[in-house]
Amino acid sequence: MSLQKLLVTDIDGTITHQSHLLHDRVVKALHQYYDSGWQLFFLTGRYFSYAYPLFQNFSVPFLLGSQNGSSVWSSTDKEFIYFRSLSRDFLYVLEKYFEDLDLIACIESGASNRDVYFRKGLGKTSQELKAILDAVYFPTPEAARLLVDVQGHLSEEFSYEDFAIAKFFGEREEVKKIMDRFIQSPEVSSQVTMNYMRWPFDFKYAVLLLTLKDVSKGFAVDQVVQTFYKENKPFIMASGDDANDIDLLSRGDFKIVIQTAPEEMHGLADFLAPPAKDFGILSAWEAGELRYKQLVNP
C-alpha cells in the first residue's frame, strides 16, 4: 500500500514555548521526517512576518499557514497559494461593540498588504497590555516598523482595502465579554469564524480571533489537500494545543494534543503529548510514524 504523508502542526505551545526560537532538536527532527517522506505544513495564528523567521534557515521545503488559515505560503515556489480576507468596511461594524471594554484590538492587514499590525487600546489598562504584547511581538525597532498604534478609530486609520484577521487581547474575562457581544450579534457572527484561545505565552490572558467566515486552520488543510493531493488524500498527522486547533485536529488521521491544552481537548487525542518546553512533540511524532507504518504494512 502506498500513501503520502503530511505532517501538519500548530506552532506556539505545540512545537515551541518560546516566541522567537524553534529548538535545534525540533528542527533536526522535522528535517528527518521530511527526508523519510513527510511533507511539512505549519499552521499558526501569527502573522506571516512574525512566523517566517522561525523557519528561514530550513533546508527542506515546507508550507506555512498564517493568521489561522487566512493564507498559506509555499517555500518551494516562494509564493502564496491563497489569501482570504475581510473588507475594511467590516471595521465599522466591529467598532460598535468596543464600548466599556479593557482590551487591545488588533487588525492585521495580512501578507498581501505588507503585514501591517494596526493596534487600538481600549480601556484603562491598555498601556500595560501593550507593554506585554511589545515584549513578545515587537522587541526590536525592526519588528516595530510593522506596528501602527491607532489614536482615533480603526475604521478611519486602517489604510488597506481588506484585512486578514482581527484579534482582541486582554485578560480572559474581558475577552469573553467581547466574544459574547459578537456571538449575540448576527451582523458580526454571520460574517466571521471566531476562535477564543488562551494566549500561549501567559494563560492569564486570552485572544479572540476573527477571520472570514469558514476560514480556519482546518480550512487551510482542506485547501492544501485539494491543491497538492487532488483525489489522493494523504495520511495526516496533526498536532495542536488550543481551541483554534480543534478543526485542524479533526482533519488528522493521527491526532496529537499537547497536555497543556484545555482539558476538554484531551479526549480528541490519539497521543497526549508532554508540554512543548519538554519537547513532547518528538515522542508524539514517533508514535504517529509508527501508526502510519502499521497502516501501510498491517
Q: What is the mean pLDDT of the chain?
A: 97
The pLDDT assigned to 68 comes to 98
Retrieve residue 94's grid coordinates.
466591529
Query: Quick check: 2 pLDDT over 70?
Result: no
- pLDDT tens per residue, range 214-251: 999 999 999 999 999 988 999 999 999 999 999 999 99
- Per the model's pLDDT, the better-predicted residue between 1 and 155 turns out to be 155
Report the chain's terminal Cα–Cα distance, integer Å: 10
Rounded alpha-carbon distances, angstroms, from residue 292 to 5, 102, 135, 226: 8, 47, 41, 21
- Integer Cα distance of 12 and 65 in angstroms: 13
pLDDT at 1 over 80: no
pTM: 0.96
pLDDT value of residue 184 = 98
Instruction: Label residue 298 by pLDDT band (50, 70, 90).
Output: confident
- What pLDDT digit, counting tens, does each position of 35-91 carry? 999 999 999 999 999 999 999 989 999 999 999 999 999 999 999 999 999 999 999
Q: What is the mean pLDDT of residues 18-40?
A: 96
Give me the residue spans of the domains in the chain: 5-83+216-296, 86-212
Residue 199 has pLDDT above 80, yes or no: yes
Whole-angstrom distance, CA of residue 154 vs CA of residue 103: 14
Question: How far, in Å, CA of 288 to CA of 255, rounded?
Answer: 8
Q: Which CATH superfamily is domain 5-83+216-296 in?
A: HAD superfamily/HAD-like (3.40.50.1000)
CATH 3.30.1240.10 describes domain 86-212 = yes
Q: Rg (Cα) of the chain, in Å, rounded? A: 19
